[in-house]
Amino acid sequence: MEIKDLTANTGKVDIVAEIVSKEEPRSFEKFGKSGRVCNATLKDATGQVTLTLWNDDVDSVKVGDRIHLQNGWCSEYKGQKQLSAGKFGKIEVVGQQEQQEVMTNDPGMMKGLPGGDSDDGDSDGDSSEEDLDIVNDEEFVE
């Protein structure tokens, strides 16, 4: 199922999507029991929807996680569809946002980054000829 296919007031929702934002959790007390709740935004290629996280689920996911909501519930609040695991559903983290580490010895790639050379052509004079020789002598990563 995709987000565009969600229908309000239906159960047995089975969807895989990414958590793109997550609000701070709130504490509540109801019927003499305390709990925690927070809203997150879930996104796939077809759209995005609010995912309400209750109690243990609040800490089980983070921004960038790819989750699988199994047997979830789709409701409607203020005209907007919302998902939750409900009483019988399960949220499982199935992947995390891929972060790629790029390794380079090319000083030109550092321009504009913190600690890198600036593009304005001004030199602060901190680099010595010895430092430049070290960079030039290193093997470049292909």
Residue 83: its H or E element: strand 80-84
Closest CA to 105 of 95, 116, 93: 116
Q: Are 72 and 84 in contact (CB under 8 A)?
A: yes
Task: Report the C-alpha gap between 12 and 25 in whole angstroms.
Answer: 26
Report the pLDDT value the prediction gives residue 139, as an integer from 0 to 100: 44
Q: What is the DSSP letter of 56?
A: H
Q: Are 86 and 72 in contact (CB under 8 A)?
A: yes
Residue 129: its H or E element: helix 129-137
Task: Report the C-alpha gap between 56 and 66 in whole angstroms.
Answer: 17
**Helices (H) and strands (E) in the chain — how many of each?**
2, 7
Report the pLDDT value the prediction gives residue 1, as an integer from 0 to 100: 93
CATH 2.40.50.140 domain range(s) in the chain:
3-96
Helix (H, G, I), strand (E, B) or coil at 136: helix
Encoded amino acid at 140, one letter: F
From first to last of the 142 residues of the chain, give the pLDDT tens digit.
999 999 999 999 999 999 999 999 999 999 999 999 999 999 999 999 999 999 999 999 999 999 999 999 999 999 999 999 988 999 999 988 655 555 667 666 656 555 555 444 444 545 444 444 444 444 444 4
Q: Any idea which architecture 3-96 has in CATH?
A: Beta Barrel (2.40)
How many other C-beta atoms are found inside a 10 Å radius of the C-beta of residue 54?
17
Q: What is the pTM of this model?
A: 0.66
Beta bridge partners of 32: none
Report the pLDDT value the prediction gives residue 131, as an integer from 0 to 100: 45
CA 72 to centroid of chain Cα atoms: 20
